Amino acid sequence: MAQQRIVLRNCGVIDPMQISTYLDRDGFKALKKALAGVTQEQIIDEIKLSGLRGRGGAGFPCGLKWELAGKAQVDEKYVICNADEGEIGTFKDRYILERDPFTLIEAMAIAGYAIGAKRGYIYLRAEYHCLLDLLKNAIGQAKEGGFLDQFDIDIREGAGAYICGEESALMDSIEGKRGEVRYRPPFPPSRGLWGKPTIINNVETLMNIPQIIFNGGHWFSQLGTEQSKGTKVFSVSGDVKKPGVYELVLGSRLRELVEGLALAEKVKMVQVGGATGRIIPYEMIDMPLAFESILGAGAIIVFNETRDIIDIVYRVMEFLAEECCGKCTPCREGTEVMVEILERFSRGGGLETDISLLEEVASAMMLSSLCGLGQAAPIPVVNSLQYFRSVYENRIRQN
Amino acid sequence: MEQIALTINDRQLSASSGMTILEVAKENSIDIPALCYRQELSPIGACRICVVEVERSETLVGSCHTPIAQGMVIHTHSKKVLQVRKTMVELLLASHCGNCFMCDKANICELRSIATDLEVGLPRFQVKKRYYPVEDASPFIVRDLTKCILCRRCVSACNEIKKEKVFGIAYRGFDSKVVVDFDQPIDKDVCRDCDVCISFCPTGALSKHGEIGEEKKGEPLIISG
Ligand SMILES: Cc1cc2nc3c(=O)[nH]c(=O)nc-3n(C[C@H](O)[C@H](O)[C@H](O)COP(=O)(O)O)c2cc1C
Ligand code: SF4
Ligand code: SF4
Ligand code: FES
């Protein structure tokens, strides 16, 4: 398998400030094709056929989401592009937005037509304020070019909370409320922003849409594995010689990315998927990168032999405790309990009973938390106990 | 109204669509504990005590806010469910002040009663305790947030029943707090003779000023050896 540019095809090629350079690369042809005689159902069928799944972490089938929203018989609907990119170690959405805002705009307009929405929002991470002018300029040029006659795009800036990347908290935030998680059902495609049917997709997910419409869903479904079609953009960081953004066909091996492209040496472990992502030891580096094995939002953080697993897990847990919205008991209290236990271990302490307490809290959090943050927060801890248990046991013995 | 067939704890039941799992359970005398839910308020979904196992769902689901669906198979008291509920209560107790013996509401505290039902004893988790000074500036209400378990019933009760919107949530994570305005001690005139939030609080966090008697009540019990 190899690198292939679908999502990043225009990055570094076009001028993000000049729509003409985008038009030269078949820009807005997919939208034109969609608006000229293709029905809404046909577009959704094409997306379903492509097998495209969400790139924001959860991997929900994109076509299915659109279909649910498309079917709702309501006048007002919304399309949201999730550009909150708060995950530790992810910077791919920023890379994309900086270099190719036009494809995203075209994709949102197609999404709007497909589900019958007239308005879309880009929810931009607070720290990406520097991209605001670039995005506004791109939207302005698309409007002038007559590409947004039936669909309006607005930008909403976040205020610096990781949890506002979670879809329901994000919608609360756009509505002007405190960004906090809502229970589901109802899911956004039936009741989302302002209570109206809404689809919310990650930047990278949307970036695939124009290409799928242009080349057909079948073309896209030829790439990748059984359950993971297309490519994935990875943000690689940590102990590597060449950190950066790489796009690979799904199913490529983690080793190819980490050692082959990013030139990592003496790797001890890799965290795949950000703060709540799995941590795997070097022995498992031949795993394929796909939804059926390991993927997440595409953050790849590499640690070499000088790194201490407990330190890493402790710091990640501190981050999650800090970013927890505070609504539900397991996450609000559980992350705090874990921070206290891990802090003890990181200082060289730790008791025999701490390991079973960690496991008990982890299990309760994963089973009962209200959202993905609390449900996935224990994953690094659980992995570290699975693959590096002896490190904990040594600390206890030395204590 | 459409009828939905479902199974709870191996019993085949039928109920109207739109009902939540908790409502159906209650109607059939199946007792699911709930801490943040109250019939008079819309579901909050915060405490997670009411979770149940629904077959084919990866996680447990909150019964107070999850609507029933055709063919659902539910277990309300499986080992997995009970273990999670116990951990939940233990977590709440771990950061709780624990001064039950001097709490006016000790005998009507819902947290204590659920803890007793689930046989949760002294919490094993070492975690910092929440501490806030008692707010007693208002003549109508005393807030002792050290005892608050963040169920948010007071927020909903004020919003939905009195429509005054006195309370909000501030800060994040473990530091989350029910606040008034920009985190001022409560002293609102609208709270005069209201008591709605007090009646909804499951713990001793909200109460009225105690009546201090002028008479001497008796000698303290002195135990001599
Ligand atoms: C705590 C938390 C943070 C999240 N942050 C992001 C984010 O920054 N960007 C994103 O696209 N999705 C994020 N998600 C996932 C979204 O909730 C949602 O699943 C996603 O935007 C759906 O789009 P997709 O189907 O295209 O992936 C987050 C989820 C959780 C639980
Ligand atoms: S899991 Fe954490 S972040 Fe998610 S709703 Fe619960 S407290 Fe908030
Ligand atoms: S004050 Fe009482 S009702 Fe309000 S959140 Fe705290 S425990 Fe719940
Ligand atoms: S009673 Fe259902 S979450 Fe609190």
* Domain edges within chain A: 19-221, 231-304, 309-393
Looking at residue A399, its pLDDT comes to: 81
Residues of chain B with C-beta less than 8 angstroms from the C-beta of A337: 91, 94, 125-127
For the domain spanning B87-207, the CATH number is 3.30.70.20
Nearest to A362 by CA among A390, A386, A346, A392: A386
Q: Which of A180, A332, A365 to mutate to test the interface with B (most CBs of B within 10 A)?
A: A332
Residue with CA closest to ligand 1 atom 28: A166
Q: What is the tens place of the pLDDT at every residue in B102-156? A: 888 888 899 999 999 999 989 999 899 999 999 999 999 999 999 999 999 999 9
pLDDT at A387 over 80: yes
pLDDT at B222 over 90: no
Task: Tell whether ligand 1 has an atom less than 6 A from the beta carbon of residue A54.
Answer: yes
Q: Is A73 exposed, middle or buried (0-12, 13-18, 19+ CB in 10 A)?
A: exposed
Confidence category of residue B224, pLDDT binned at 50, 70, 90: low
Whole-angstrom distance, CA of residue A336 vs CA of residue B172: 12
Looking at residue B99, its pLDDT comes to: 82
Q: What is the tens place of the pLDDT at every residue in A332-345? A: 999 999 999 999 99
Residue with CA closest to ligand 1 atom 29: A166
Confidence category of residue B225, pLDDT binned at 50, 70, 90: very low
Give me the CATH topology for the region A19-221. Answer: Rossmann fold (3.40.50)
Q: What is the tens place of the pLDDT at every residue in B72-92? A: 999 999 999 999 999 999 999
B95 with A336: Cβ contact below 8 A: yes
Average pLDDT over all residues of chain A: 97
Whole-angstrom distance, CA of residue B223 vs CA of residue B171: 47
Whole-angstrom distance, CA of residue B140 vs CA of residue A180: 30
Looking at residue B98, its pLDDT comes to: 81
> Which listed CATH number (3.40.50.300, 3.10.20.600, 3.30.420.40, 3.40.1010.10) goes with A231-304?
3.10.20.600
Q: What is the tens place of the pLDDT at every residue in A163-205? A: 999 999 999 999 999 999 999 999 999 999 999 999 999 999 9
Confidence category of residue A2, pLDDT binned at 50, 70, 90: confident
Task: Tell whether ligand 4 has an atom less than 6 A from the beta carbon of residue B61.
Answer: no
Tell whether domain A309-393 is in CATH 3.30.420.40: no
3-state secondary structure of A273: coil
Q: Which of A336, A351, A371 to mutate to test the interface with B (most CBs of B within 10 A)?
A: A336
Whole-angstrom distance, CA of residue B42 vs CA of residue A296: 34
Contact status of A74 with chain B (Cβ, < 8 Å): no
For the domain spanning B3-77, the CATH number is 3.10.20.740
Nearest to A385 by CA among A238, A296, A281, A291: A281
Looking at residue B105, its pLDDT comes to: 86
In this structure, which ligand is nearest to the CA of A80? 1
Q: Specify the pTM.
A: 0.95
As for ligand 3, residues whose beta carbon falls within 6 Å of it are B 148-154, 178, 200-203, 205-206
